[in-house]
Amino acid sequence: MLRHFLLGKIHRATVTRASLDYVGSITLDPLLIEAAGFLENEKIDIYDVTNGSRLSTYVIPGIPGSGEVGINGAAAHLVDAGDLVILAAYGWMSEEEAQGRLPKVVFVDAQNRITSKESQERTPAVANAFA
């Protein structure tokens, strides 16, 4: 049996632009794409922390080092420039495959520059319990 697991995520990125006049997708700085383990044209989910919207789209690379998180097409009705978003990719794998695999979790600052990369996340209460 295959199950669905988190492969990678970018936590609380700031949307740099939202453009309705585009075919669709999300444009990301390739440095963010690589750090999260995303692939070009891969389906990802967008969770808008600012307004609660949730949607799926696909990744296209922007300019390296730009910090771009650009929302394109119809998604620009749901996500605005300046919103905080979580971007996540998932994949199907067996329990055996999942045992040795940890997701790539990328934390960024307000300019979408990478501040840290982790292989797991815990809520503060749980993290403190393990300290």
- Integer CA distances (angstroms), 41 to 44, 59, 61, 89, in order: 9, 5, 9, 11
**Per the residue annotation, which of 22, 47, 58, 90 is the catalytic one?**
58
Q: Are 27 and 62 in contact (CB under 8 A)?
A: yes
Query: CA 111, 112, 118 angle in degrees (round to 5)?
Result: 140
Q: Are 116 and 108 in contact (CB under 8 A)?
A: no
Q: Up-side HSE of residue 21: CA atoms within 13 Å toward CB?
A: 0
Judge whether 56 counts as a catalytic residue. Answer: no
**Per the residue annotation, which of 25, 47, 66, 90 is the catalytic one?**
25
> Strand 2-14 and strand 104-108: pairing?
parallel
Judge whether 47 counts as a catalytic residue. Answer: no
Positions marked active-site: 25, 58
